[in-house]
Amino acid sequence: MTTTNRSAPRANRRQVLRGAGGFALSLPFLPSLLPRAMAAPVRTPRFFLMATEHGGIKNENMFPSDASLTDKSELRPGHQVSYGKIKVSTQGNDAVVSEVLRAPASKLNQRIVDRMNVMRGLSVPFDLGHNTGGALGNYNRTNKEPANLPRLYIPTIDQVMAWSSSFYPNAGAIRQRSMLVGEGNGYSYNYANPATRTGEAQAQAIERDARVMFDKAIGQPMAGPAPRKPVVDKVIEEYRSLRTSNRRLSPGDKVTLDAYMQRLSEIESRLGQRVDCGSATRPGVGQDSDPRKYFSTLNDVIAAAFICGSSRVAIYGITSRFVVNTLGDWHQDVAHAAKSVPAAQELITRSNRETFNATMLDLANKLDVDNGQGGTYLDDCLLAWGQESGFPSHDYSSTPVVTIGGAAGAFNTGLYCDYRNKTPGYRREVEFINNVPVYEYAGILHSQWLASALRAMGVPKSDWPNVSADNAGYGDARVGFGYGRTIIDNSWKKGSECCGSITDANLTKMIEFANQPLPFIEKV
């Protein structure tokens, strides 16, 4: 005898399409149509990163107090690290995580702090000098090119996400794969033909006008006739004939033609998308001379696109200072001088604090709204801040990374993690200031964080560019001269010498470590 569990919820009639004559067509699994008791929230990840110039912020101004580091753990034999829940103090009306991560308590509230992570000890083990590629993984986008480190441009992680069918399983519903907005150039890179992953990686254009980006990512509400037949469809036969039968067409021109047709197809696809972003309003001003108003408007566009689902990747390149410079040239008299001139350090600290307030924190608050599934859109986002360097400027040892958001449940949050190995002997001189050496301790690879970000967004390693057979996290498995102590631990140690030559066996160890989950933050 069979029994039936009558108390179990059953799929309702909307799960089946019924036609005349008794014909029925079962639909794909649609969680939103199930009874509330059966439906599970659908987590849709979104990624945002802002990249800022110079770095140069003193560690005591950038990072939380050591009082947050309440726990210790041994990552590997001889490499002990510290971590703990971020502690917040109050100064007047401000909530203070650090001098840079400081804002009015109404904005930097406990909900936001509980969704933050601050990471220290993420390093690139070769000289990047001036760079705009480090924050997103194109490490060779730099003015440094040693003979033993040939320049190799690769797609940045935002573009890997934007062209992954795992991240965008239904790209037909997306108007803008990646929103590249702001000021600076050279942060985001992709193949010449991203659909086929061919051609040299090249810089992606940044849109500076908020109104233009609104038109691209959101456009007008759904109305009017269906879109016209794409131009690509009208010329596809001629394209195929030219591509396959013309003997004069060189291999290089074939690549160029394919890339052009792919870009044309992508543009047509965007123009044909009809999305409903509710009451999203086109900005009245595209570019404002006040950087706070400018980025607030851009944040409105990004938040609207993220919430309505017309785009789920956004990158800011930021060159604004947000403060009045009273010291002269910013690069020489502020960024370089900040290591030893108190007035310059105060200025660069205040500028980065205002940047954090006006861009990343403002966007986080605009996304911290009810998503109708028992959480907020911020819970499904990964907002990140990457910098050109750590302290001092031009050195990528222990470059700060700050995140806000739960990454669709993939990350633990509310943590300050110091990945440096502070065991005596594991340090490298990074600067000489006022006749006093400045040291930085060994940490872990910055590429490990980038790999974790990709995994958190649901992008499998099969979608990453094949830099080599031995990817170390995301990017290049290399060690520059004198950089052994940046990432050294016992597995690297050669006898009693900390910075001996890096052997193939030790490089394999580094790769093995870098492909592991990001300690404490990435859920496993």
pLDDT, one tens digit per residue, over 23-65 is 333 334 444 444 544 445 678 999 999 999 999 999 999 999 9
Lowest model confidence (mean pLDDT) among 249-263, 294-308, 321-335:
249-263
List pLDDT tens digits, range 441-493.
878 889 899 999 999 999 998 999 876 655 668 877 666 655 554 444 443 33
- Look over the chain and give the mean of its residue pLDDT values, rounded to a whole number: 80
Average pLDDT of the segment spanning 12-20: 39
> Which residue stretches of 273-418 are H helix?
291-308, 342-355, 362-367
Least Cα distance to 179 among 296, 270, 314, 4 occurs for 314
Q: How far apart are CA 415 and CA 117, in angstroms?
A: 5
* pLDDT band at residue 361 under the 50/70/90 scheme: very high
Q: Which percentage of the chain shows pLDDT scores above 70?
A: 70
For 223-278, what is each residue's pLDDT tens digit? 444 445 555 555 556 656 665 665 566 666 655 666 555 554 544 444 444 456 76
Phi, psi of 315 (to 5 degrees): -130, 135
Interatomic CA distance for residues 426 and 487, integer angstroms: 8
- d(CA 97, CA 108) in angstroms, rounded, equals 9
pLDDT at 166: 95
Bigger pLDDT: 482 vs 421: 421
Of the two residues 212 and 152, the one the predictor is more confident about is: 212
| pLDDT reported for residue 131 | 87
| Residue 117 host element (H or E) | strand 116-120
DSSP 128-154: --SBSSGGGT-TT-BS---TTS-----
pLDDT at 58: 94
Q: Say how far apart CA 310 and CA 216 lie, in whole Å.
A: 10
pLDDT of residue 434: 79
Residue 500 pLDDT: 40
pLDDT the model gives residue 343: 96
pLDDT score, position 3: 40
| 3-state SS string for 419-455 | CCECCCCCEEEEEEECCEEEEEEECEEHHHHHHHHHH
Longest dimension (CA), the chain: 91
pLDDT for the residue 481: 57
pLDDT value at residue 477: 64
Q: Which amino acid is at 219?
A: G
Is residue 72 scored above 70 in pLDDT?
A: yes
The whole-number pLDDT of residue 359 equals 97
CB-based contact 522:450 (threshold 8 Å)? no
Whole-angstrom CA distances from 186 to 62, 124, 192, 209, 435 are: 25, 18, 15, 17, 36
Per-residue confidence band for 220, with pLDDT thresholds at 50, 70 and 90: low
**Terminal Cα-to-Cα distance of the chain (whole angstroms):** 43
* Range list of β-strands (E), 254-400: 313-318, 381-387
| 424: its two tokens | 């005596």
Distances from the Cα of 439 to the Cαs of 30, 392, 422, 496, in angstroms? 56, 10, 11, 19
Please tell me the predicted confidence (pLDDT) of residue 81. 92
How distant, in Å, are the alpha carbons of 43, 207, 348 from that of 508?
35, 41, 39
